[in-house]
Structure 1
Amino acid sequence: MTAGTYKDTSVFPDPVYKETVLRPLFDGAKDHHVEGFRLIDRAHLVMLHETGILTIEQARPIAQALEAIDREIDVDALTYTGEVEDFFFLIEKELRARLGPDLAGRLHTARSRNDIDHTLFKLGLKDRIDSLLERLVRLAETLASVAERESSTLIVAYTHGQPAQPTVFGHYLSAVLETLLRDIARLEAARDIVDRSPMGAAAITTSGFPIDRDLMARLLGFGRPLQNSYGCIASIDYITSTYSAIQLVFLHLGRFIQDLQFWTSFEVGQIYVPNAFVQISSIMPQKRNPVPIEHMRHLASQTVGRAQAMLTIMHNTPFTDMNDSEGESQGFGYGAFESGGRVLDLLTALVPALRISPDRVRQNIRRSCITVTELADSLVRHEGLSFREAHEIAAEVSRSVVAIGGDIAADGYEAYQEAFEHCTKRRTSIDKTQFAEIVSPENFVAVRDRFGGPAPRALSQAIAGYNQEISRIRIRMQEAAQRAQASAQDLQSRFTALLGVR
């Protein structure tokens, strides 16, 4: 049967379509975007009037009707009935009931659901990014503070899962902090992409009406309009940039969290977790389970997975306005902010509570002979050997000490003398006291006073630099918050003037 002979008696919406698509979309808009709709309607009305597209006689009753809708409708109590397609048409229906179709319809002049939707999503993302940035900066401040507190606290640093060299806990935390600051910079860059208003793009190509896109951007708290109108409704890099940045934040923090899990194990035990963060086994009374670390690890992984899913949803979609990037996808992505925020809050509380177990650190340093690298370095400096010769001597000393389960400072000197004489055919100028000093973990750290190293001066300079960067981030966040507040006040003032309220 051809379309020309088929009589379509169906009525919108199909019941299954209503329940599987329209109701979830309506509920999502109701839960996440009501305030955005409200701001866009008010800003667009102000712009239409101030550009002369609507007269005061047209704009004022629309403003009064919008105010009445806000006052009279309990959005939380709304249930989707199918009478209108979505939340946008619900507001238009309410306007028509109050103003009639002609006047009510004038609010939609020079705009489309296309530019409205992407503006809604950007407003929602900006709020969530700002909240996440606040949590990230609090964590950065915490890491800097604890790094300074622990700037002389020895730990064992691991490579390939094995004890490698001694350093200090503050140096390790500074590495985590430095990565976090780069992650914050990536999220700030993503926010800058989000902070460009699509309003005025209309469906695709802007409008023949003399709209003011700069004014709309300012009233809605955006930094500026996004220029190309096709890109306003097609370029979803504001989504991919945001979730790429989030994915990297929690991928990187997950590695730190995994170290905490490893370092708190019974066999390593160089970190002590206080009782407030420990759960006891229901059957084994001796067990102290630092399960908050496990929760952070799986929540970080969930966040990475949700962020990656957002990128996957956008993959191989057409470069145009499309549902793939809209309501339900946006709501799904918000889960990454929720789980990620929980990780950041818990990690910010846990890090200051952690304590290094000095006895276990000393034991692990002794058992693993990890200061022997400095013996090789010192032989180059004090005995004039090549590093390869010095490395061979140090390796022989290490093997001898490990074989007897000894301590290199107390038990390694005789093995050192023998290895040195065998390799160089002469006696060493380093005596036993000097040897013990060379292979001490304190000396190992102290001589590494180079840019980026763990020695006190280098580490102190690094932490000071990190604190300066954190302060600059704080200033940028405060300036953004002030601009947003000024925009909100400006919109309220102009909208109030439309209402005719004095």
Structure 2
Amino acid sequence: MTTHDDPRARDASVFPDPVYKETVLRPLFDGAKTHHVAGFRAIDRAHLVMLAETGILPRATAGRIARALAEIDAEIDPAGLSYDGTVEDFFFLIEAELKKRLPADDTGRLHTGRSRNDIDHTLFKLALKPKFDRLAAKLRALITAALGLAEREKATLIVAYTHGQPAQPTTFGHYLSAAIEVMLRDHERLVQARALLDLSPMGAAAITTSGFPLDRARVAHLLGFAAPLQNSYGCIAAIDYATATYSAVELVFLHLGRLIQDLQVWTAFEVGQLYVPNAFVQISSIMPQKRNPVPIEHLRHLASQTMARARIMRDIVHNTPFTDMNDAEGETNEAGYQAFATGERVLDLLAALLPALQVDGRRVAENIRRSCITITELADTLVRTEGLSFRTAHEIAADVARAVVAADGDLPRDGYAPFRSAFRQHAGREPQLNEAAFAEAVSPEHFVAVRERFGGPGPQALTSAIAGYRGALAAAELAATATAAREASAHHELDAAFADLMGAA
């Protein structure tokens, strides 16, 4: 062989190479028949209707193609197909089937003005939208469950922790409301990402649209999209719909993982402020006394799996060229779909578990007693009633807390004597606060009741907050219902337009 030999002249190989067939083409074909058959069908029909309506194809020609497509749908069950390498992929399978059923002059006309590039990204969006909508609906169901529990427990005391240590008393409803706010923000991020999924790439063709007078808005409408995505290069290259989708999904489960971790700690024997009922407890095979709330562990690892699977999509796209490429297509999308499968399990289980949880008031009261966590309100009360600076009041309160904890006492009952001593030492006089007023100031009920500021755990503030969360959730439900109705209407409109086309002479 010399350097002037042309290897193309000697190439006797036949597509596909058997290893390439098994390692790439078969998995892609199987993924298409599993996830994208309905999408292919809808795209073919919508594009064909548009070609006929714009006059790009004669109506009679479009009618013959429509009837052939209907025959393919009736005669071929994609689930029963096994990839044999005679065609490159599912798209070319449909092309081959059309060729069998159409006059030679009609063969290939359906592909006028389009490319596998715009088809592929439209397929991926069509596949993502229902998965995305189911996940969002399950998140709203979880928010509903959390709201019910927050309403039920809005006056139920718990210990709030900072840095892993008891910090202040609040209510379980107040704690849950913080988590609900995050869930609502996560849902809003899902909504924002969903808006990108709702823009159609069809009509972008390979890169630059087409010289044919395509009606991109009509195809977008028939496929249930809100509008076409504008820039044709971005339609096939940007793929920020995928990175935005999976970033939003990842954040949902990253944030839920923190809530789940608190549930794990708070149900531990040493803390015990949450009781998990028997329906969510498994026993030890050897230790008779064990009550293992293992659903919480499953929530934790499934949330982590979901987060990691969503992050795969962003990691794969990192440092890829800004162009159409396989890195963000079939198999990558199929890997991402797994995030929805595990994510739905997390949301369902957590929505069932939360309402079943109960606060163990005895353990909460004991933990409050042992930790002296109402002492902050003593300092605040001294500023308001005794006219002290907060720093002086803080020093008095700190001395009281140390004395009560050292004696393993109860702050409301045993704290007044060390309080008077500390007050005289730091303020140089007797306090005006008597023993009854002192006991009220350091009670956990009073601690919560006086915190009626915006966002606080006080009864009025928390009731107002929960009402606001319910309003936000109701608005989200209405928006989701409206989107579903619009897409269902488009589906019926496409069916009617295609049926009408099938009757064309």
Q: TM-score, normalised by structure 1?
A: 0.99
What secondary structure, in the 3-state scheme, does the structure 1 residue paired with 2:100 have?
Answer: helix
Aligned residue runs from structure 1 range 165-314, under 5 A: 165-314=168-317
What secondary structure, in the 3-state scheme, does the structure 1 residue paired with 2:107 have?
Answer: helix
What secondary structure, in the 3-state scheme, does the structure 1 residue paired with 2:10 have?
Answer: coil
Letter in 2 for 1:98: R
Partner of 1:498: 501
Q: Output one character per residue of 1:136-169: Cα deviation in whole Å (capped at 9) or x when no partner.
A: 1111111111101101000000000000000000
Partner of 1:384: 387
Is 1:410 aligned with 2:413?
yes
- d(CA) in 1 for partners of 2:191 and 2:358? 32
Partner of 1:351: 354
Which of 43, 62, 65 is the matching residue for 1:62? 65
Is 1:452 aligned with 2:434?
no
Partner of 1:464: 467
Letter in 2 for 1:475: L
Letter in 2 for 1:233: I
Which of 337, 340, 358 is the matching residue for 2:340? 337
Is 1:473 aligned with 2:488?
no
Q: Output one character per residue of 1:302-328: Cα deviation in whole Å (capped at 9) or x when no partner.
A: 111111111000000010100000000
- d(CA) in 1 for partners of 2:402 and 2:44? 76
- d(CA) in 2 for partners of 1:429 and 1:228? 74
Partner of 1:318: 321
What secondary structure, in the 3-state scheme, does the structure 2 residue paired with 1:288 have?
Answer: coil
Q: Output one character per residue of 1:33-68: Cα deviation in whole Å (capped at 9) or x when no partner.
A: 000000000001000000001112101111011111
- d(CA) in 2 for partners of 1:98 and 1:49? 19
Partner of 1:4: 6
What secondary structure, in the 3-state scheme, does the structure 1 residue paired with 2:319 have?
Answer: coil
Contact in 1 for aligned 2:60/2:504 (Cα 8 Å):
no
Letter in 2 for 1:265: A
Partner of 2:150: 147
Which of 93, 103, 107 is the matching residue for 2:106? 103
Letter in 2 for 1:24: P
- d(CA) in 2 for partners of 1:380 and 1:425? 15
1:501 deviates by 8.6
- d(CA) in 2 for partners of 1:484 and 1:74? 25
Partner of 2:129: 126
- d(CA) in 1 for partners of 2:60 and 2:169? 77
Partner of 1:484: 487
Letter in 1 for 2:125: K
Task: Name the count of aligned residue pairs.
Answer: 502
Q: Greater CA deviation, 271-280 or 141-150?
A: 141-150
- d(CA) in 2 for partners of 1:201 and 1:151? 53
Q: TM-score, normalised by structure 2?
A: 0.98
**Which residues of structure 2 form unaligned runs of 5+?**
none
- d(CA) in 2 for partners of 1:13 and 1:66? 27
Is 1:74 aligned with 2:87?
no
- d(CA) in 2 for partners of 1:243 and 1:82? 33
Identity of aligned residues (%): 65
